[in-house]
Amino acid sequence: MFTNLSVDIAQLPAIQSIDFVPLERRYVLAQFVLVLVWMIVVAVVAFAVVWLFLPEEWRRGLSILVVLPVFPALTYWSCQRSGYALREHDIALRKGIFWRKQIIQPLVRLQHIEVARGPVDKYLELAGLRIFSAGTETETFTIPGLNVATAEQLRQRLLDAQSTQG
């Protein structure tokens, strides 16, 4: 017989009860430096184009370049506020500054887990853990900025949980 009982909202666990693990400090600093370098390149190119190729009236528009330092600062802040949590029945990711996003993936719905490493990650001995949900073609989320050993341990833990539940 099918039943669909109501859930008492007051009995739900509070989101604040999740203890998120911060991303590796190396990752946070690397993201800051990468965005800072890109902002310097953008500023130099914009300055050169305006100064060398456009009429003198356009040079006043270069004052907009003063907002460029905001982007590395926001990147740093965003990475510092990001984190992940592995719990008994799910894995969660928290990210964002102004628009906070929290994604929780139940372990029973895991389809695929992979460790991803780009050139910067390899240099800094970091990795990202890509989580795929069953029934989707794209990843649910990626936990960036993990120590390589931590990423491998999390992947193995998730695979073990997946095999015991499936």
Q: pLDDT tens digits, residue range 120-155?
A: 999 999 999 999 998 877 888 999 999 999 999 999
Average pLDDT over every residue of 36-57: 89
Beta pairing class for 110-116 and 126-133? antiparallel
CA distances for 61 relative to 47, 50, 106, angstroms: 10, 9, 50
pLDDT band at 64 (very low <50, low <70, confident <90, very high): confident
Regarding pTM above 0.85, the answer is no
CATH number for 109: 2.30.29
Domain count for the chain: 1
Residue 56 lies in a domain: yes
Q: What are phi and psi of 135, to 5 degrees?
A: 90, 5
Any domain includes 11: no
Q: Which has the higher per-residue pLDDT, 68 or 145? A: 145
What is the pLDDT, as a whole number, of residue 102? 93
Q: Look at 2-6, 12-16, 57-61, 121-125 and tell me which has the smallest mean pLDDT.
A: 12-16
Asked if residue 134 is part of any domain, the answer here is yes
Q: Look up the domain containing 124 and give its range.
A: 21-165
* 105 is a domain residue: yes
Give which of 102, 86, 97, 104 is closest to 19, Cα–Cα: 86
Q: Is residue 1 part of a domain?
A: no
CA distance 79 to 46: 27
Question: pLDDT band for position 56 (50/70/90)?
Answer: confident
pLDDT tens digits along 29-38: 999 999 999 9
Question: Would you say residue 14 lies in a domain?
Answer: no
